[in-house]
């Protein structure tokens, strides 16, 4: 919005070409045309409203999903300027919706969007990818309206009435010929808006879904900002101190941090740059970690928490059980890394570091009781780390002696090409036996597990190394665990969990997924983890091929199909499978293992934040939230869990 004194005629031509380019290669601008890209359109529009809120002018954002998947976003900001450039006749508002700002958000290394200051960056992209867009602006005593189709103006901005309010309303229908689906997922938008509301203290965001018979509504406003975020993440965890530690400073750039320790063994640190989740971390996280390590070590030494003064606490010890959210606003962020979600600006490290150094050491001096409970936990984490190191060395030495011995129970496949190999992790000896006989041994390996699996959510790393249930899994996968995990070393392209479709099966599935999530997360992120889907029913009749049904719905459909072919229900034998063990090797192959016929569910990590919460809740100490979750998701849990 800064300059409107360009050569407009030339500019205009460029505008059209620009939006054509967006329609030709939408992925460059919004990542993909899947549901993810679709949701991105809404985020682009809402981001502009959040910018207006950050500038101090907008308090409320109201997002509606209307019937027909029309999105309506209304804010009470100043309203996009409506003044018209005298030479060109083009309004500022029209320019915002038709001018493609330099570079695409996902396009190469230039032009990454800087939220918090630069208005209207994505609006033209949304416009270009929409069947139609309507913009209504209230400002300067009037109501103004303009319309577009597929990015081209069809109704110039005109004053249609009077208003003493200010604000902007955008309504659009995404282009069905571009997107794979137009079906917005309420829960996905809800999660993102909750996050946005946490990140912008006091901003009120309402999301309404008016598509179904019963409308849905989510309403977010957090006066506590990041403190509220951390409390939300820790809802089902045991806290070491009541209130989060809060750091907020506007130095060279704004930094906001909230920290709360729990009794958990995992660490959850979320980082944001200009409200964008930097999943791969970067210099802000680096600065935070350095300060944390230094401040706690200094405090431990000066207050005699360490027996051996030369023995420092390590970063990992100090981060055990931590939940923290870090939010920085940087003018020209450099994003690096595989998914361009790692902050690269080197000046950020030192600034965050000195800020945290100062605030945190003051906090500890002023709150000795909190300092004590955190440090006691750090010290016991350090002891456990030492024990873990010994356990690990023992494992290493053993395996060095026995030269890469694979677990005795593992029936390996003959191929050694990871991309084509799969390992089935199977619960129980009898199912394991059938799987071994039924498999295609060229590329399918079987690893049977039995007995009680370790709950990693309640165990420290020292219990995990050398654990007789997990060790075979670690060695079979072959890529190490934790910080040592190396995805390039995996021995199988597919790691498939095969468990019964009952409560015990769900339990073992959850335990294994928790383990993969906490100790081999790249395996999930890379899409290597799958759940096998054994059938629930078999329908049979003499002279007819058996029909396997994987859900109750499948069964109902099969009955209907057969009835239409003149085969009534009472002539059919129905077998209900209670467990994998009831199937013979051949059946197991046909229904659950044959790549041509089986159903595999790929475990995805769309939202690591929510997954983290779910795992700590499902596998953690508190019973009540778990019971609630299972009641609310009874069907979900029964069929699939997580």
Q: Which residues are catalytic?
A: 427, 500, 502, 504
- Taking phi over 0 as left and psi of -120 to 50 as alpha, with beta for the rest, 513 belongs to alpha
> What SS3 class is residue 321?
coil
Could you tell me if 208 and 222 are in contact, meaning their C-beta atoms sit under 8 angstroms apart? no
Could you tell me if 321 and 264 are in contact, meaning their C-beta atoms sit under 8 angstroms apart? yes
Residues with Cβ within 8 Å of residue 123, at least 6 apart in sequence: 44, 45, 48, 96, 97, 170
* Chain residues in the site for ligand 0RA (CB under 6 A): 1, 48-49, 52, 75, 77-81, 119-120, 168
> What SS3 class is residue 454?
coil
Give per-residue burial for 77-89: e unless 16+ CB within 10 Å, then b. bbbbbbebeeebe
DSSP structure class, residue 570: G
- In sequence order, the β-bridge partners of residue 130 are 174
Could you tell me if 319 and 380 are in contact, meaning their C-beta atoms sit under 8 angstroms apart? no
From the list 21, 283, 217, the residue with the least C-alpha distance to 129 is 21
- Rounded to a whole number of angstroms, the minimum distance from the CB of residue 471 to ligand 0RA is 55
Other CB atoms within a 10 A radius of the CB of residue 584 amount to 11
> How big is the CA angle at 445 (ends 525 and 422), to the nearest 5 degrees?
30
Q: How far does CA 478 lie from the centroid of its chain?
A: 26
- Taking phi over 0 as left and psi of -120 to 50 as alpha, with beta for the rest, 18 belongs to alpha
- Rounded to a whole number of angstroms, the minimum distance from the CB of residue 26 to ligand 0RA is 21
Distance separating alpha carbons of residues 95 and 4, to the nearest angstrom: 9
Could you tell me if 190 and 46 are in contact, meaning their C-beta atoms sit under 8 angstroms apart? no
Could you tell me if 205 and 59 are in contact, meaning their C-beta atoms sit under 8 angstroms apart? no
Closer by beta carbon to ligand 0RA, 141 or else 344: 141
Q: Can you tell me which residue has the tokens 């150094």?
A: 357
* Sheet arrangement for strand 444-449: 444-449, 422-427, 494-498, 529-532, 600-602
Distance separating alpha carbons of residues 379 and 317, to the nearest angstrom: 7
Please provide residue 392's backbone torsions phi and psi, each rounded to the nearest 5 degrees: -65, -40
- Distance (Å) of CA 384 to CA 372, 391, 462, 471: 18, 10, 6, 18
Please provide residue 475's backbone torsions phi and psi, each rounded to the nearest 5 degrees: -70, -40
DSSP structure class, residue 188: H
Distance separating alpha carbons of residues 572 and 541, to the nearest angstrom: 5
Distance separating alpha carbons of residues 594 and 408, to the nearest angstrom: 25
């Amino acid at each position: 919005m800064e300059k409107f004194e360009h050569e407009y005629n030339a500019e205009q031509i460029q505008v059209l070409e620009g939006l054509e380019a967006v329609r030709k290669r939408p992925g460059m601008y919004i990542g993909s045309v899947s549901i993810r890209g679709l949701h991105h359109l809404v985020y682009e529009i809402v981001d502009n409203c959040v910018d207006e809120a950050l500038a101090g002018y907008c308090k409320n954002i109201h997002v509606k999903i209307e019937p027909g998947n029309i999105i309506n976003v209304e804010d009470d900001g100043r309203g996009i300027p409506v003044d018209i450039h005298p030479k060109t006749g083009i309004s500022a508002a029209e320019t915002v919706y038709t001018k493609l700002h330099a570079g695409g958000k996902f396009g190469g290394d230039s032009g990454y969007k800087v939220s918090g200051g630069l208005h209207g960056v994505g609006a033209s992209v949304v416009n270009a990818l929409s069947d139609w867009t309507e913009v209504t602006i209230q400002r300067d005593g009037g109501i103004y309206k303009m319309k577009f189709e597929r990015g081209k103006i069809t109704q110039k901005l005109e004053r249609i009435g009077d208003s003493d309010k200010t604000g902007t309303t955008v309504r659009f229908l995404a282009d069905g010929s571009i997107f794979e689906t137009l079906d917005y997922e309420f829960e996905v938008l809800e999660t993102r808006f909750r996050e946005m509301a946490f990140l912008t203290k006091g901003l009120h965001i309402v999301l309404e879904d008016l598509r179904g018979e019963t409308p849905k509504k989510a309403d977010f406003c957090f006066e506590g900002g990041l403190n509220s975020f951390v409390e939300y993440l820790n809802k089902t965890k045991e806290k070491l101190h009541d209130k989060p530690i809060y750091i907020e400073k506007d130095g060279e750039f704004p930094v906001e941090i909230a920290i709360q320790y729990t009794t958990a063994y995992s660490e959850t640190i979320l980082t944001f740059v200009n409200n964008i989740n930097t999943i791969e971390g970067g210099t802000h996280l680096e600065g935070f970690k350095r300060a944390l390590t230094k401040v706690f070590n200094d405090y431990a030494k000066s207050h005699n928490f360490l027996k051996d003064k030369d023995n420092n606490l390590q970063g990992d010890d100090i981060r055990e059980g931590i939940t923290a959210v870090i939010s920085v606003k940087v003018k020209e962020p450099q994003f690096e890394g595989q998914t361009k979600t790692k902050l690269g600006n080197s000046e950020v490290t030192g600034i965050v570091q000195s800020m945290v150094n100062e605030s945190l050491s003051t906090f500890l001096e002023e709150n000795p009781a909190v300092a004590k409970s955190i440090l006691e936990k750090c010290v016991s984490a350090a002891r456990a780390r030492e024990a873990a190191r010994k356990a690990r060395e023992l494992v290493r030495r053993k395996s060095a002696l026995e030269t890469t011995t694979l677990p005795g129970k593992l029936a390996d496949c003959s191929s050694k090409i990871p991309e084509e190999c799969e390992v089935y992790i199977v619960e129980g000896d009898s199912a394991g036996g059938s799987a071994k006989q039924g498999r295609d041994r060229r590329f399918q390996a079987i690893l049977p597990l039995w007995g009680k699996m370790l709950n990693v959510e309640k165990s420290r790393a020292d219990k995990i190394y050398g654990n007789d249930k997990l060790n075979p899994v670690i060695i079979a996968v072959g890529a190490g665990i934790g910080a040592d995990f190396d995805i390039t070393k995996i021995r199988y392209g597919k790691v498939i969990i095969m468990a019964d479709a009952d409560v015990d099966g769900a339990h073992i599935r959850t335990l294994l997924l928790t383990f993969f999530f906490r100790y081999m997360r790249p395996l999930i992120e890379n899409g290597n983890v799958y759940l096998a889907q054994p059938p629930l029913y078999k329908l049979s009749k003499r002279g007819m091929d058996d029909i396997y049904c994987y859900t109750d719905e499948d069964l109902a459909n099969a009955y209907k199909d057969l009835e239409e072919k003149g085969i009534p229900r009472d002539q059919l034998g129905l077998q209900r499978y209670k467990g994998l063990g009831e199937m013979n090797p051949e059946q197991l192959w046909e229904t659950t293992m044959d790549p041509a016929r089986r159903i595999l569910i790929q475990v995805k990590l769309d939202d690591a934040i929510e997954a983290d919460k779910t795992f700590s809740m499902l596998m953690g100490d508190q019973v009540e939230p778990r019971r609630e979750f299972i009641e609310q998701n009874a069907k979900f849990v029964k069929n699939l869990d997580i």
